[in-house]
Amino acid sequence: MPAQPGEHPQPGPLGGQPGEFHHGNDDTNDVARRVVTELEAIGVRALNPAVGFPMEMDHFPGKTWVVAHKPVAVAAGLGQMGIHRNVIHPQFGNFVLLSTVVIDTEISDYSRPINFNPCLECKLCVAGCPTGAISSDGHFDFSACYTHNYREFMGGFGDWVEGVADSRNAADYRSRVGDNETASMWQSLSFGANYKAAYCMSVCPAGEDVIGPYLDDRKTHLAEVVRPLQNKQETVYVVPGSDAEQHVSRRFPHKRTKPVGRGLRATSIDTLVGGLPLLFQREQARGLSATYHFAFTGTESRQITVTIHDRELDIAEGHHGEPDLAITADARTWLRFLAKEAWLPWALLRGRIKLRGSPRLLLAFDRCFPS
């Protein structure tokens, strides 16, 4: 669903145009549904996975989506992924909504990815992102984007519910959550969840239909599209001790940070290991060079090697090299420890967790994955 030529949707108070966005999703689903109906009428079995939600939430916090529309769109030649991790269409830019129709038959001709990337690498998405999730060198901080932009989805909603449960009474709840936050959560529950910051999309000038004003007058584009988002006084939700928290205080001191939990709590060793690259905070890892051997026992048995060096994270199956810190842990106890439901000294005394090496390296590791 493309925007109109030259149009750059401006985020409203909740970070987007929620009404139009949800109606656009409905329209996209309707188009895909009509395609499925026509295919089935000629004997081709077809399926229309939802544009966004509903998803397979029983898999959360693991992979919940049925189809990842973005890589499908790239493979189908609809565009390429920009530095902001949105698909950029050559004509419509990133102002598109994607849906996928899955069929169970061979087709006569397969599309191919386009041979150029419409992304201008103008880095305006880097400049506009309030959490610093998009870096100019191409690095993407999933945790920063997820914690703020998806505050009223999934994990953020779960974190809010836990805040309600932890409150002693109404006054205590109000001291934790402002009336505007409660109203915002109510609005998302009533009318569809709202994103907090679609700024990376709003400022993107790529695409034939929208690039004209940017090329004609870049200063005006910066003044009328980018600066208002940078100067906007707003609350940015951050995990305490995260790169995002430091970025906001350094780059946007006029914006207020609110420390929250990210709401992504590992429920198994598999989801824990799979989530490490998404939660890694490379600025918190500055100056750290260490190799960790993890050996999980009990309900889940797995060995991995985690290496942190030069602000980069590497994870390998099995144990490799000589570790600076070796950790042997009962799987359930380790997950409870990460969820702050088990006390580390208690687990050490009972042999549920064993360390070989400096405990300070465990603290350094924890700083790289704040929760």
Q: In the sheet where 302-309 sits, what is the strand order?
A: 312-317, 302-309, 290-297, 325-330, 353-357
pLDDT value of residue 9: 42
CB atoms within 10 A of CB 284: 20
Whether 338 maps to a domain, the answer reads yes
Q: Are residues 147 and 103 in the same domain?
A: no
Do 362 and 355 form a contact (C-beta atoms < 8 A)?
yes
Q: Say whether pLDDT at 156 is over 90.
A: yes
Q: Say yes or no to pLDDT of 209 above 50.
A: yes
Residue 78 covered by a domain: yes
Whether residues 79 and 100 share a domain: the answer is yes
Does 248 share its domain with 321? Answer: no
Mean pLDDT of 188-200: 91
What pLDDT, on a 0 to 100 scale, did the predictor assign at position 53?
87
Residue 3 lies in a domain: no
- Average confidence (pLDDT) over 18-24: 83
User: For 190, which DSSP code?
Assistant: H
Q: Does any domain span residue 134?
A: no
Residue 5: predicted pLDDT: 37
Bridge partners (DSSP) of residue 312 are 309
**Average of per-residue pLDDT across 155-179:** 94
CATH code of 349's domain = 3.30.1050.10
97-152, pLDDT tens digit by residue?
999 999 999 888 889 999 999 999 899 999 999 999 999 999 999 999 999 999 99
Residue 18 is predicted with a pLDDT of: 66
Residue 371: pLDDT band with limits 50, 70, 90: confident
Please say whether the beta carbons of 262 and 147 come within 8 A: yes
| 3-class state of residue 76 by DSSP | coil
293: helix, strand or coil: strand
Number of domains into which the chain is organized: 3
Chosen domain end from 216, 233, 259: 259
Q: What is the maximum span of the chain, computed from C-alpha positions, in angstroms?
A: 69
pLDDT at 7 over 70: no
Q: Whole-number mean pLDDT of the chain?
A: 92
Do 26 and 104 fall within a single domain?
A: yes
- 136 found inside a domain: no
Q: For residue 274, which phi and psi values (nearest 5 degrees)? A: -65, -25
Q: Which residue has the higher pLDDT, 18 or 9?
A: 18
Residues 286 and 229 in one domain: no
Residue 53 forms part of a structural domain: yes
- For residue 130, tell me if it sits in a domain: no
In this structure, are 318 and 277 located in the same domain?
Answer: yes
Q: Let me know if residue 131 belongs to a domain.
A: no
Q: Is pLDDT above 90 for 1?
A: no
Task: For residue 237, give its domain range.
Answer: 142-259
Q: Does residue 242 share a domain with residue 150?
A: yes
Same domain, 169 and 238: yes
Q: Which of 259, 283, 313 is the last residue of a domain?
A: 259
